[in-house]
Structure 1
C-alpha cells in the first residue's frame, strides 16, 4: 500500500492508524491500494484520519478518542456505547461517536458519485483508542459495512478484506481520477505507479486470452481454382467499361441549363471585427481550442474533468468598456460526453468557489465576475474582470451577455 500524508491526523488515535497503514508496506504483497491520511475532501463535514482507496473498495477511517482504555467496548450504531459496562457520555449530546463517522463516509460516497468517478463500495471504519481489547457490534451494523476497531495492522487488514468486495477491480486510470477528487492538495500518483499497488490495467490479460480462445482454428486449406473467361467476353466487358467512364465524364464536365458556365465560387464572408450583444460592443482578441480540457481547468471543475470525458474546450477573449473603463472577457465552451454529464458539470461550476477554466495564458482570472449556462451537451462559462484585475457586481450584466458570445471566429 502506498501512503500519502496530506495533513495532521485530527484524532490522537490517528497516529496509530497511520502507523498500522505504514506497517503494511508498499506494493501488493499484503494488501495494495493507496491510503490518504489527514485528508478532508470538499463537502466532508469533518477531517478524516484516512481514506484508503483499494482496488475493490474505499474505506473511510474516522478516529474516536475514548476517555480511557477499555477491555470491552459495546458499540452499536443506533444506541448507547458502553465501556466495560459503563455508558459512554458524549459532550455534544450525540448518541455515539459513530454517527459522525457514518455521516463523513456518506459525504465521501456522495462526492464520488457527484464527480462521476469509478463506482466502488464505500465503507466506514471507526478507529477507537487509546486501547480496546474487544469490540462488540450488532450483526446488523456489520452487514451495513461499518467496523469499529482498535487500529492495528491485523484488524485493519481484516476490515479491508471484509469490506472491499467489488466484483470488478478498479483500473489504474480510474484510481487516478478517484484520488484526484478526494485529495485537495498535491498530485495523485500516475497510472503506472498505481499498477504496482494492485489496480488493474485497462485491458485484462484474462479477457484477452478468453477472446483469443474464441477464434476457431483452420484445420485444412481447401485448394482454389480459377476459371478463364472466353476471350470474346473479356473484350466485350472492357468496351462496356470504357463507355460507362465516358458517359460519367460528360455528365460532370458539361454545364447544366440552370448554371452559367463561367460561375465562380462565392467569396467567403468576412468576419466581423466587433460583436454587439444587447447594445454592448465586444472586440474579439484571441481564441484557442484544446482537446485536454482538464489541463486548462482548476478547482473542483478540474477534479470533475479528470474523472469524466470532455470532447473539447474552446476559449475566446474579448474586450469591452463599462462606465468608461476597459474590461477583459473570457468565454469558454466545453463539449461534454452527453446531456447528463453536462448537467453534472454545470452543477459543479455553478457552485461558488468550485473553480473553472484558465485564461489563454494558462492562469485563472482572479476574483472575476462569473456566469454559466448549459445547452444540451455543452456548458458555457464567462469570466469578466476589469483590465487592471478583479471584478465586482457591476460586471454581472456583462457576464450574462458574454454567454452569448461566440468562442470561434
Structure 2
C-alpha cells in the first residue's frame, strides 16, 4: 500500500492510524492500493484521517478520540457507547462519540458511488488513545463498518473482511476517484498503480465476473470422497507408523553465541573432588571457633543500636506565577529520539539534539490537581530548533513521553490524552509542556490547564 500524505489528520489517534497503514508496506503483496492521509474530499467539511483506495474497494477511515484509554469498549453504531461500563457522552450531545464521524463517512461514500457504482465502500472508525477490546453488535459486524483500535493487525483484518469487488479497479478508475477524493494528490503512472494491484487501462473484465482467487479456494477446499477399503493382510505392530507425527525441527533465526568453558584435566578434577570434604570440615571448624570467641568476648560490651533510617526526602516545590510546582521526577538524556514518538521522533532522528531534559511536576488550580510534563530539547543551531518546534506544534505530529510515567514516580498515574499543549523556543532550546487533570477528562482549550501550561514555561529543570 502506497501512502500519499495530503494534510494534517484531525484526530489524536491519527498517529496510530498512520503507523498501522505504513506498516503494510508498498506493493500488492499484502493488500495493495493507496492510502490518502488527511484528504478533504468535501470542501465544506473537515479532513478525514485516511481514505484507502484498494484494488477491490474503498475504505474511509475516521478517527474518534476517547477521553481516556479503555480495556473494553461497547460501540454500537446507532446506540450509546460504554467504556469499561461507563457511558461515553459526546460533547455535542450526539447519540455516541462517532455519530459526526459516521455522517461524514457516509457523505464521502455517496461521492465514491457516484463515480464507481459497483465498487464497495466500507468505513473504519478508529478509536484511541487505547482500547484493548471493542464489542460491536452482530448486526453491525455484518455490515460495512468496523470500530477498532488502529493496529497493523486490526487494520489489515478490517481491510480484508469488508466487502470487496471480484474484479480490480483499473488505473483510469483510480485516477477518476482521486479527482473526486483528493484533487491535489500527485498523478501516479500506470506502472506505479499496477505495482499496487490495480488493473491496467486495457483491462475489461466485468466486476461481476468470478474472481480467480475464489475459484482456487473452492478447488482447494473440495476433498474427494474416500476410496472403498480393501481387505489387507494383518500388518505387524512394529510396521505401523506412529499416530503422532514427529516434531518439526525448531528453526533458530538468531545465532546462539558459543560459550567456551575450559575444562580441567581429568587428574586435576579428581584431585579437587577428593579435597572438597577436607576443606569443608576445616571451614566449619574455623567458623565454630570464631563463634565461641565472639560469644565470650562480646558479652560485657553494649550492643550498638542499628542505624535508624533517615526521613524520606521531601519533594522539591517551586512557585511560578502564583502556582506551586511539586517535582515528581527530573532527568536528562542525550538520546532524545528514544523518548519521542510520531513525527517528532522522526524529526529528532533526522536532526539529533545535543541534550534533552525532562521533568514531571504536580500543580493545582482552583482546587484541582494538575499533572505537568515538561521537555526541553537543545540543538546546535537556532534554525534546527525552530524547525523542530514547528513539527512539535503540528496537531497529530507526535510528541515526547512523560518522564514520571516511564519511571513510575507518579503517586497516581495521569492520562495525557486531551492535555493542554504549550511550547516556546529560546535560542537553540525548545520547551514542550503538557498539562492534564488528575481527576477527569482534559481538553486542550481548558483555560485552567492552559494557565498552568504557560506558567510551566518558566519552571526550572535543575
TM-score when normalising by structure 1: 0.48
TM-score when normalising by structure 2: 0.43
